[in-house]
Amino acid sequence: MEIQPTYPIRKIIHIDMDAFYASVEQRDNPEYRGKPIVVGGPPEGRGGVVATASYEARKFGIRSAMPSKKALQLCPHAIFVRPRFAAYKEVSNHIREIFSRYTDLIEPLSLDEAYLDVTNDKLGIGLAIDIAQQIKQAIKDELQLTASAGVSVNKFVAKIASDMNKPDGLKFIGPSSIEAFMETLPVEKFFGVGKVTAEKMRNMGLHTGADLKRLSEDELTRHFGKSGKFYYKIVRGIDEREVQPNRETKSMGAEDTFAYDLTTEEEMYAELEKIAQTVNNRLLKYDLKGRTITLKVKYADFKQITRNQSFPSPVGDFETISATAKQLLFHSGIDDVKVRLLGITLSNFGEPTRKQKPEKLDGQLELF
Ligand code: DCP
Ligand code: MG
């Protein structure tokens, strides 16, 4: 009897623009081309962070989310540019229009990144590699920008692949090479494995996919909860997640656990400003605004509280996020407390006309 695979075989492309904001700036300002460009907050003053850097700037070690001050230290002749989100949004709309020539199954992950399911492409091209090549060419011709594409049979492998030959890359990982590829992959590259889980895995002697593969599904679930089931499959190259064209983001935020407990108002406010800046950047990247701001505080004794405030219309700017979070923190009491974690989340992204009570967010803050 022939054994049929129990999971679907799809043709998935993951597209990601190269050094997105920086490339748009270099395209629109010829004097920036070939130069180290840092897009983000200014290096003077507090709280400025790098949104992205041109490839020329990355040679100096400059990376996204790094304080702009540090970027300046690494490369004193770098050119610092404030982001122009309207320009990035316009490019984003255009690339999505290009994608839609080939398929309607498009799941944007952010302004510069999307999954496409081209199992049944609109033009009947059939070969996913050809489709990826044509999309890259259209982006070059129509937008004078480069993108990298990953092609495979599922989302996870396609996403890993798009990152492998950046910039201007095209990488195909076919079904027969997936398992071998997974075995060499470091654990932190696996979907859903953050810093904390990666650390836990390394402490257990699990460094690569091959190590993960030695554990049974039960063992993985015992150690990593529900995600264990997912790891079990993914390390065998199985990822059944569909490309979801209308996926809704329910919340977006950032949090930080501190190396030592915060005890003064000044320290807490400074950390909240940093977190607010990260949240603001993420909201811009995903083109979102929300009507509810939630503050999460974890104390030294691991007690945790959340406090939220809702607005009549959606907000997303740094000032509002930072001021609201500080106010919520102030009202939760800051005298005689030891704070080990602070987090800010935006939610309630729906239409403002739909009357809703502020969401209760306790225990729902995992969606970062
Ligand atoms: N971005 C941001 N803050 C971050 C990460 C990213 O504001 N911490 C913004 C700037 C990026 C854009 O999102 O240009 C896309 O993010 P990517 O992670 O795809 O990074 P890039 O496109 O800049 O570079 P790469 O060529 O590595 O994809
Ligand atoms: Mg990118």
Q: Are 13 and 101 in contact (CB under 8 A)?
A: no
Given a cut of 80, is residue 316 above it in pLDDT? yes
Helix (H, G, I), strand (E, B) or coil at 94: helix
Looking at residue 356, what is its pLDDT? Answer: 38
- CATH number, domain of 268, equals 3.30.1490.100
| Least confident range of 6-10, 77-81, 178-182, 362-366 | 362-366
Looking at residue 193, what is its pLDDT? Answer: 86
Residues near ligand 1 (Cβ within 6 A): 16-21, 51-52, 64-65, 112-113, 166-167, 281, 285
Given a cut of 50, is residue 364 above it in pLDDT? no
Given a cut of 80, is residue 118 above it in pLDDT? yes
For residue 113, indicate whether it is catalytic: yes
Average pLDDT over residues 61-71: 94
User: Rounded mean pLDDT of the chain?
Assistant: 90
Do 263 and 141 belong together in one domain? no
Q: CA–CA separation, 329 vs 346, rounded Å?
A: 15
Instruction: Write out the residue range of the structural domain in which residue 206 sits.
Output: 178-234
Strand partners, 188: none
pLDDT band for 292, please (50, 70, 90 cuts): very high
Nearest atom in ligand 1 to 18's CA: 26
pTM for the structure as a whole: 0.80
- CATH number, domain of 118, equals 3.30.70.270
Do 144 and 190 belong together in one domain? no
Q: CA–CA separation, 8 vs 238, rounded Å?
A: 9
**Torsion 218-224-225-228 (CA) sign:** negative
Q: Are 148 and 173 in contact (CB under 8 A)?
A: no
Question: Is 161 within a domain?
Answer: no
Mutation choice for ligand 1 from 112, 166, 168, 318, CB with most ligand atoms inside 8 A: 112
Do 255 and 228 belong together in one domain? no
Do 58 and 103 belong together in one domain? yes
Tokens of 9: 């075989």
Nearest atom in ligand 1 to 22's CA: 14
* Structural domains of the chain, count: 3
- How deeply is 118 buried, as exposed, middle or buried, from its count of CB atoms within 10 A (0-12, 13-18, 19+)? buried
Looking at residue 6, what is its pLDDT? Answer: 61
Q: CA–CA separation, 297 vs 337, rounded Å?
A: 11
Q: Which entry of 25, 56, 107, 113 is annotated as an active-site residue? A: 113
* Strand pairing category for 79-81 and 37-40: parallel
